Amino acid sequence: MGTHDDVRAHAWEAAGRYAAAFVNDGDRVGLGTGRAAAAGIRALAGRVAEGLMCVGVPTSRASAALARELGISLARMRGPVQVAFDGADLVTPSGLIIKGAGGALVRERIVDDTAGRFLVLVDGPKVADSCDAWGVLPIAVVPFAAAYVAKTLAEFSPSRRSGRSDDELVIIDLTIPAGADWQAVDAEVRATHGVVDTGLFRAMPADIVVGYPDGTVRTLDRLPDGAKG
C-alpha cells in the first residue's frame, strides 16, 4: 500500500493527463506552479515526446526548470495562451480558489487570465465547502510598502514570509476570520496601496479538475453532493 504522498501523486497525475489532453499543435500553454501543475507538465512532456508541437509559458523558475528538463520549449509572456493549467491550495463548489502557497500568484494571475481555457488541477483534499477551510489569503506586495501594508491590514494578523517571490515581491499571509465574505475582503485588500495581487482566484467549476488515485477525474461541477476525497 502506498504512502499518503504516493496516493496523492497518483491523483495529481490523473488531473495532469486530463489537462495535457487539451493542448493542440501550435498552442502556447501556461505552465502552473506546484505539485499538481508539475504533474501536468510531465504529462505534457509525454505528449511532446510523441510529436506534439507547443510552447510553454512558465509561471515560476521551478516550472521553467522542470519543463526545460523534460524537453518542452519555453517562451516569454508576450501574448495570450490557448490553455493554462495550475494547481490550487483550495477550491470551493462555487469556483472560488485560493492560490499562492508557492508564492507565484502574480505570474499565475497574468498567465491564467489570458488563457482561452484555464484548468485548475487538484485532488480530493483540496475541495472544501468554503475558503474558511484554508483560512489564509496570500498577497504579493511591493517591498517598499510591505511595512505599510502590514500595518494597514493589521486586523488580518499579517505574517511576512522570508525571502521574496521570483519577481522580488514580498509575500504576506493574511488570516481571514471564519465566516468572512472572502470576496469583500479581497476587494478591501486590493484597494490597499502597495498590494500587487492576492491569491483569491475564480474559475468555472467545469474547469476545476479533481483527480483520484485510481486514475479517474471528475470536474467540480460533476462531483456528487458532499463528495471530496
User: Alpha-carbon distance 164 to 37, whole Å?
Assistant: 21
C-alpha dist (Å) from residue 177 to 87, 157, 182, 197: 24, 10, 9, 20
User: Alpha-carbon distance 93 to 121, whole Å?
Assistant: 14
Q: Nearest 5°: phi and psi at 53? A: -105, 115
User: Alpha-carbon distance 76 to 198, whole Å?
Assistant: 22
- Concerning whether 50 is annotated as a catalytic residue, the answer is no
**Cβ-Cβ contacts under 8 Å for 168 (sequence gap 6 or more):** 143
C-alpha dist (Å) from residue 66 to 45, 154, 166, 221: 10, 38, 16, 31
**Cβ-Cβ contacts under 8 Å for 180 (sequence gap 6 or more):** 132
Q: Which of 50, 108, 155, 168 is catalytic?
A: 108
Catalytically active residues, by annotation: 108
